Amino acid sequence: MRSTNLRPTSVYHLPGTIEAALAMLAESGGAATVLGGGTMAMPKLRDAAVHADSHVIDTARITGFGDLAADGTGITMAAGVSYSTLLSSSLTPSLLRAVAGRITGGPQIRNQGTIGGSACHANPASDIPTALVALQATLTIARLGSKRHLPACEFFLGPFCTDLRPGELLVALHVPATPATDWGYAKLKHGESSRPITVAAAQLTRGADDTVVDAAVTLGAATATPVRIPLDGPEQFTTARKLGPSLRTATFDAIHDTCTDWWADEAADRDYRRRVAGVIACRAIEDALSKESRS
Amino acid sequence: MTDLRPLNVNGIQFDGEYDPGTPLVDVIRNDIGLTGTHVGCRNGDCGACTVLIDGAPYKSCIVPAGRVAGQRIQTLDGLADGDDLHPVQQHFWNANAFQCGFCLAGQVLCTVAALHGNPAADPADLNTALAGNLCRCTGYQQIIVAVSSARAPKTVRTPCVTTDP
């Protein structure tokens, strides 16, 4: 018996190099689906949501596409780095390690899903876009013959919408080194197999005398795109362990002053997300406060 | 598009034709004829289609078959040695850790992979290892009993568990 071909119009490619993938993308004239891990794109192909596409370009066998590297400026991850690699590599930024251990889908999805694929999917109700905006990552986007670099906050344009253009491939993500910074992460979801309703990444950076000199929380899943919110009066966090009423209120206010584009999906409506966002942000800040990196 | 790169399933090379862009589970079931790997949601949610690729669990409904040519693919069908069940299968049997059996491939293979990497995995590790598998019968209690007994094969074998509340 022959297998049921679910996509009779598509041709599957498995390039071994970035250059070969870019050449295939250029040749396809924009009518191609790129597979990162494929955890989101494969079901879409089945559903014929990309029926007009005639080429499927799978990046899974590109040499070096699953590697991390460190230099003086920070960590560079190839776009095909999986969640499992984020968990096992000693180079992984601590925030991404916390994120990778708690994604939805179990070890099978941690083995297959990739940081670049999740970024390009840009589902508001996911972890990676928020983490990349929080880390102020820079994305390297290639097309045949050229490259460009883009801050993560400019990459995510809207729900399931990025600045990636036809013929382009996200190839790498650079996370700058953040010395003296404690990271915290919190997320709200109501079932192990459901998607997050709110995720929050907190960043507390300490000065020479241990005073917190910069504080920010980046919110996602509650909003259509990740929003990084600097917090006024960072020194107030210097000796805090838990957030008292005034810091909680200030955090809630900062969020509600900054965020306008609340997200809604089958898990929660906009009003629910607006109400819980501050609570989850405070949990993320308290997680960062518990990191005890202060000397 | 036809491709002749062979797939290695349960130690046997499959040299037949298959579409490399087709989900691996369809090639395993329809072209190779092994039906221990089940098709549940086709979304990568339920885990019924789980196989091990080079020892690590993947949901084969979202893996293009051509991607894993040349790698070691292990399905539930090849786990037993003739009539002798794999130890993890035996623990599932002893604990009645299945009702309809539809999710069994994922539950068993994720346990096999987790214990292979960490034979002394604690209960929290094993919960994490099974988090990608849905049992629509909600038979999780017996699965946890089986997995907990599987992690300590040197101790007294867990007796057949009844349905006492």
- The C-alpha atoms of residue B57 and residue B64 are separated, in whole angstroms, by 15
Measured CA to CA in angstroms, residue B117 lies from B56, B110, B126, B149 at distances of 9, 11, 11, 17
What pLDDT is stored for residue A270 in this prediction? 97
What sign does the CA torsion over B119, B121, B125, B128 have? positive
CB pairs A-B closer than 8 Å: 110
What pLDDT is stored for residue A292 in this prediction? 66
Residues of A in contact with B132 (CB under 8 A): 105-109
Interface test with A, best of B63, B74, B147 (most A CBs within 10 A): B63
pLDDT in tens, A208-246: 999 999 999 999 999 999 999 999 999 999 999 999 999
Which pTM value belongs to this model? 0.93
Which residue from A minimizes the CA distance to B42?
A43
Closest of A295, A278, A292, A267 to residue A125, by C-alpha: A267
What pLDDT is stored for residue A294 in this prediction? 45
What pLDDT is stored for residue A53 in this prediction? 58
What pLDDT is stored for residue A48 in this prediction? 63
What pLDDT is stored for residue B74 in this prediction? 98
What pLDDT is stored for residue A291 in this prediction? 87
- Do A3 and B67 lie within an 8 Å CB cutoff? no
Q: Please state, rounded to an integer, the average pLDDT across all residues of chain A.
A: 93
What pLDDT is stored for residue A130 in this prediction? 98
Q: Residue window 30-49, chain B: list those with CB within 8 Å of chain A.
A: 30-31, 33, 42-45, 47
User: Does A64 have pLDDT greater than 80?
Assistant: yes
DSSP state, residue A24: H
What pLDDT is stored for residue B2 in this prediction? 43
In order along its 165 residues, chain B shows pLDDT tens digits of 445 589 999 999 999 999 999 999 999 999 999 999 999 999 999 999 999 999 999 999 999 999 999 999 999 999 999 999 999 999 999 999 989 999 999 999 999 999 998 888 888 999 999 999 999 999 999 999 999 999 865 544 455 555 544
Interface test with A, best of B19, B26, B71 (most A CBs within 10 A): B19
Residues of B in contact with A46 (CB under 8 A): 23, 42
pLDDT, mean of residues A268-287: 97
- The C-alpha atoms of residue B104 and residue B14 are separated, in whole angstroms, by 24
At A256, the pLDDT band (50, 70, 90 cuts) reads: very high
- Do B110 and A43 lie within an 8 Å CB cutoff? no
Chain A interface residues facing chain B, Cβ-Cβ under 8 Å?
1-7, 10-12, 14, 35, 38-39, 42-43, 45-46, 56, 58, 60-61, 84, 105-109, 111-112, 192-193
- The C-alpha atoms of residue A120 and residue A115 are separated, in whole angstroms, by 9
- The C-alpha atoms of residue A152 and residue A226 are separated, in whole angstroms, by 10
